[in-house]
Amino acid sequence: MIIVQLLGGLGNQMFQYAMARRLALKHQTALKLDIAAFQTYTLRFYELGCFNIAQTFAASDEKQSLTLIKEPHFHFTRRALKYPDNVYIEGYWQSEKYFKDIETTIRQEFWVKEEPAGLNKEIGNEIRNTNSISIHVRRGDYVSNPVTNKYHGVCSMDYYQACINGLVSRVSDPRFYVFSDDPEWTWENFSLSYPVRFVTHSGVEKAYEDLRLMSLCKHNIVANSSFSWWAAWLNENPDKIVFAPKRWFNRDELDTSDLIPDSWICK
| Domain positions in the chain | 2-109, 118-266
Band of pLDDT at residue 238, cut at 50, 70 and 90: very high
- Look at residue 195 and tell me whether its pLDDT is greater than 50: yes
* This prediction's pTM: 0.95
d(CA 181, CA 179): 7
pLDDT for the residue numbered 139: 67
Shortest CA distance to 8 belongs to which of 36, 38, 50, 30?
38
Residue 133, strand partner residues: 176, 219
Mean pLDDT to the nearest integer, 38-57: 93
d(CA 135, CA 63): 40
pLDDT digits (tens, 9 = 90+) for 124-169: 999 999 999 999 998 655 544 554 444 456 889 999 999 999 999 9
d(CA 141, CA 160): 19
> For residue 147, how far is the Cα from the chain centroid?
22
pLDDT for the residue numbered 141: 55
Question: Which overall architecture, per CATH, does domain 118-266 show?
Answer: 3-Layer(aba) Sandwich (3.40)
Q: Rounded to whole angstroms, what are the CA distances from 110 to 25, 125, 233? A: 16, 20, 11
d(CA 90, CA 51): 21
SS3 at position 252:
coil
